[in-house]
Structure 1
């Protein structure tokens, strides 16, 4: 809640700096749709595949994509009309709703349906058990963020109190967590891809568990827009969602090697073989949603995880912040 208030108090100069400058696809007779993504991640492969395969162009959309690098900046961009659509964690829509927003942010299409982080051990183990973490030093994610909430939720599911049974470190900036572990901090670390795979390939760590598999289905990353946008630009949002669905189906049908070759240009600093490994890992555990429909069960699981971590400002009914009509029309 405190973080959300900081978003809403950002000065106008910062809001203007956050306006998308991104890359565009298509031609002059297409409608421009501005999308702000929370970060650039192989976790979002179906979006990049839809772009690379030309599905947005087929739907008459010239997509302008910008990376906001953070949930707060992404939501600020959307709320200030710097973007038409945001790709960010569904929990942010709850934070905005709890502030009694006159034009709430509505989730209309799912992209990922599990957590995307992995537990990496400094030392190899033939048979990992969660109680191995008792008494260890655990390098977690930022307090209040969805990765940390999921991490703590999973630990509790395995009978571990993250604030009593181990030494929890969560005061390191997101961008420095991997380097802190590589330099010797922590016995275990919670990492996103591709860092987890890179560490394993380089012998710096060993992936021993998946937080995505352990925490179940959750609307981890979704496309959302203001309620007014969904009402006034329904046809555009439908075309956007149809293009996304084509990308989701394509990713579901193709091999990791083909997917990686299609999206590798979005990750200039990551070798294609690493992209392939990451895509395969996410596909195997069902992280990529195969259609845009966000389920009630996933929504409830999200709020359970938030509540367990003390970060749920209020319970919000599924119907209040999830629009299923667009996804349902696409799936017919």
Structure 2
């Protein structure tokens, strides 16, 4: 599997290096796309890099961007028609595929290789063992959401039953989590960057482990549209996919300091040292995909995690082809 992934990454690297500037006709084509990201996070640096380096503009995309504050809200925007493309967890598309919704979401490109949340404690624990979580309260997320599912998977791999051995607190909204932690709620919590580095600098929380590292390399956030939008606007989604692929290659090769300078405007209030630290941490954890390919094996693994988490019946797993279309990604490699 590792060899196959490395080979695909090499093919994509060669392909992207060989890409010539868009033709005049392509450059003049404008695709107006309403985009929503799930949250604002360093986890999505490749997307911000693509915007700042003009890769989406070069692809003929005129983008409006909003932050949903949750995969459920991002999916709601997609299904209601108020967003054209959303960056959310792939689990949402599985849930909708099993529903009676006439609108079907389609995953067409991946951005992150796994969960970017860090397990944080209230004091440094140099010799931390996940089994120390036994009997504790951990601030998590909405049941069935990707952050919750990945944390449960990590706990199980460490020999803990997330339903019995710990108390996962799931009733605190994304925007209220930092405040709740600072108010003294819960023993442990999971945080994305840059919140993790900021809390660490303040001496309010200390990183103990990586959820994604323990859960495994399973696509965590993906670009998703609807089947109808993809059918009607395939050229626009193709342009988007090409811009994402270029941004991923650029991000993979750039040093943390350069990336921090590029994306600084998306993180006002975070100083450069904290931003560089956050980016370096994610680089070390290899959280950013080098290509937009979302593999069937990863989605099969995700669905097994959903079954183990009790949010998907084993008999209701969704065929990969029903909610994932890698045709646009594959077409890039053929150019």
Secondary structure of the residue aligned to 1:124 is coil
Partner of 1:13: none
* Structure 1 partner of 2:204: 204
The match for 1:323 is 325
Whole-angstrom distance in 2 between the partners of 1:181 and 1:62: 38
State the distance in 1 between where 2:184 and 2:35 align.
38
- Where 2:81 maps in the other structure, the secondary structure is coil
Cα drift, residue 100 of structure 1: 3.4
Q: Cα offset for 1:126?
A: 2.1
Residue 114 of structure 2 contacts residue 220 of structure 2 at CA under 8 Å; is this kept in 1?
Answer: yes
Q: TM-score, normalised by structure 2?
A: 0.86
Question: 1:291: how far off?
Answer: 0.9
Query: 177-186 or 224-233: which moved more?
Result: 177-186
Given that 1:113 and 1:218 are in contact with CA atoms closer than 8 Å, whether structure 2 keeps it comes out as yes
User: 3-state DSSP class of the match of 2:107?
Assistant: strand
What runs of 5+ residues in structure 2 fail to find an aligned partner? Answer: 1-26
What is the Cα deviation at residue 29 of structure 1? 6.4
The answer to whether the 8 A contact 1:113-1:287 is kept is: yes
Alignment match, 2:251: 251
CA contact (8 A) 1:142 1:174 kept: no
Q: Is 1:256–1:280's contact at 8 Å kept on the other side of the alignment?
A: yes
Aligned residue number for residue 215 of structure 1: 215
State the 4+ residue runs in structure 1 displaced beyond 6 angstroms. none
1:115-153 deviations in whole A, cap 9, x for unaligned? 111111112122111111123332322322211111112
Distance of 2:140 and 2:36 partners within structure 1: 26
Q: d(CA) in 2 for partners of 1:34 and 1:68?
A: 12
Q: Distance in 2 between matches of 1:92 and 1:136?
A: 28
Q: Distance in 2 between matches of 1:187 and 1:67?
A: 28
Partner secondary structure for residue 207 of structure 1:
strand
| Pair 1:229 & 2:220 matched | no
Partner of 1:109: 109
Q: 1:268 to 1:216 in 2, by over 3 A?
A: same
Give the count of matched residue pairs: 306
For 1:171 and 1:90, locate their aligned partners in 2 and report how far apart those are by CA, in whole Å: 22
Partner of 2:124: helix, strand, or coil?
coil
Written as runs of structure 1 = structure 2, the 5 A alignment for 1:20-35 is 30-35=30-35
Secondary structure of the structure 2 residue equivalent to 1:107: strand
Unpaired segments ≥5 residues, structure 1? 1-26
Contact 1:142 1:171 in 2 (8 A): yes
Whole-angstrom distance in 1 between the partners of 2:48 and 2:201: 25
CA RMSD of aligned residues (A): 1.8
In the aligned structure 2, how far is the partner of 1:296 from the partner of 1:279? 28
